[in-house]
A and B are shown apart, each in its own frame.
Chain A
Amino acid sequence: MEVTTVDTNFKSEEYFINMGPQHPATHGVLRLLLTIDGEIIKKVEPDLGYIHRSIEKMCERDSYQQIVHLTDRMDYLSSHINNEAVCLTVENALQLEIPDRVKVVRTIIGELTRIASHCLWWGVMGMDVGALTTYFYGFRDREMINDIFEETCGARLTMNYNVPGGLMWDIHPNFVKRVKEFVAHFKTKIPEYDRLLTGNIIFQKRTKGVGVLSKEDAISFGASGPVGRGSGYSCDVRKHHPYSALDKVTFNEALQTAGDTFARYQVRIQEMWESLSIIEQLIDNIPEGEHRVATNAVIKLPKGEFYQKVETARGELGVYIISTGTKNPYRLKFRSPGFSNLSLLNHISVGGKIGDLVATMATLDLVIPDIDR
């Protein structure tokens, strides 16, 4: 037992336990130091860094094309959107005019990524609170999306389909047909999800009123994505700072006001419907044209500072590049959504039970490489 990082000055009835770094509910190598009194949580302190690769330092010696490949090792469930964030930053800095075809395809794949990520989250969420069947349902539907990705991008998870200037290849001839098949299929499956889990009385008792986050705290803690929107905080980057083809589509921002675990759950279910709607609006009208514009083999950004935010499946990802005019960034910072969302875990779980912490963590939807970068 490691004692150096533990405050030994606690009262006799309080003790501490380790949750993780190898624990199914932490979804990766995250260690939580819990100070508990019986089963009531007094304090949660995350211990990070088990898989920190110092991507920000590596970026300082890499070219901009290489940086794109590092980003899908951060939040691997939103890899396409991470790639897009870096590409958009570079393209805006170079003031490149990106073809409409690229914008539309990027948005469609981005929304498919979001659905795939939410499918996996939904399966794991059910499993965390004791419903094993959801895992198989979620993975069954995610598999269809992965097959589409494999055909068009050449990879199922870390896709690297974006390059600065456009897309690496044009879409596969089957792409439109298969996406349409998936949309039709998945429309019949979300109601199934609702019947299986959402209305389940045990599930509702585990999640309603658990891990409540107020709107003020959500803003102060920098919560984003479904975590912020579950507290009624309108924080969808796609609405407030639209990028790619998102200014051409209409969709509703999924908002809930309760701020508890169940509200965050509902936001994600609602988001899957909205993503389907965005895909439907775009899939029949993919413009003809080039799939990329030529850039220099060695990309040098002009001197200055560039910031781009995008909405990944977990929330707001920011890319901040300071360039001195050379082929490498002088400093590159990733503002990852998971990092800010993790920082509020202590705030919302103190006073609850350990079982509640598991349910709360499931709806924060943490991906540890995103936090550890």
Chain B
Amino acid sequence: MTNEALQELISNWFPNPEIGKDSKVQEASENLDNSEDVQKTQLPINPSLLEFTEEGSQFLNVTVPKGYLYELMSKLKTESDTSFDYLFCLSGVDWGEELGVVYHLESTQYRHQIVVKVKTNDRENPTLDSVCDIWRTAEFHEREVFDFFGIVFNNHPNLKRLFLTDEWDGFPLRKDYVDEINMVIK
């Protein structure tokens, strides 16, 4: 499936509830079929809760609000059109203000790929939903992210430090981590 087709399919799963409330926007979106492209760009509200971008990446990128993460992920895995059964990379990222996780998915049936991103503003107690029961490889990868970024995953069966000792202070891969003895800063 091409990236455009994937984007159209997935964005329809999560329609933005704001559109239904605002009648003007609704009309605008209904008129889309017989209108010019100009109107499309003028749409004030994203028609989906998901944000799509292909800029600066070889994959289609989807950013999902963290409340919808688990629902989106299980649909990506189980829907027969997408069938993303292979989670080939799960990375924690510290974007400065936000912490988050990047999921790289591939379908072994269709060989199409997608990247899902989820972010959280809370640096004190960052919490995200676990995807362990969708892809079992996530169990170790999420433990690694917990270890190095301190992101807690809900419903994880065995969430504890993986590489570091239990009494380790801080989360080393965060950008604000300081270790004056062991870290050489250039």
Residues of A within 8 A of B (CB): 4-5, 48-49, 52, 54, 56-57, 61, 217, 219-222, 233-235, 240, 302-307, 309, 316, 318, 320, 322, 331, 333, 335, 339-340, 342-344, 347, 372
Contacts and interface: CB of A to CB of B under 8 A. Distances in A.
Contact of B162 (A49, A217, A234, A331): A49
A4 B165 CA distance: 11
A7 to B, nearest CB: 11
Nearest to A302: B56
Interface residues of B, number: 37
Interface stretch (B3-11, B14-22, B29-37, B131-139): B131-139
Nearest to A235: B108
A333 B140 contact: no
Interface SS of chain B: helix, strand, loop or mixed? loop
Given A343-B136, A343-B137, A343-B140, A316 B88 contact: yes
Interface in B56-102: 56-59, 61, 85-89, 91, 93-94, 102
Contacts of B108: 219, 233-235
Interface of B: 55-59, 61, 85-89, 91, 93-94, 102, 104, 108, 111, 115, 135-137, 139-141, 144, 162-166, 172-173, 183-186
A304 B93 contact: no
A322 B173 CA distance: 14
15 contacts: A57-B172, A219-B86, A220-B135, A220-B136, A233-B108, A234-B108, A235-B108, A304-B57, A307-B58, A307-B89, A322-B93, A335-B89, A335-B91, A339-B144, A343-B140
A-B residue pairs, 5 tightest by C-beta = A304-B56, A222-B137, A49-B163, A333-B91, A343-B140
A4 B166 contact: yes
Nearest to A305: B57
B91 A340 contact: no
A56 B111 CA distance: 28
Nearest to A45: B158
A49 B143 CA distance: 13
A333 B163 contact: no
A220 B173 contact: no
A182 B30 CA distance: 69
Contacts of B85: 219-220
A174 B56 CA distance: 43
Given A307-B59, A343-B140, A222 B88 contact: yes
Nearest to B147: A49
Contacts of B88: 222, 309, 316, 318, 335
B104 A320 contact: yes
B58 A306 contact: yes
Given A4-B166, A333-B89, 19 more contacts: A5-B166, A48-B163, A54-B173, A57-B183, A220-B85, A221-B137, A222-B137, A233-B108, A234-B108, A302-B56, A305-B61, A307-B58, A307-B89, A309-B88, A335-B88, A335-B89, A335-B91, A340-B137, A340-B140
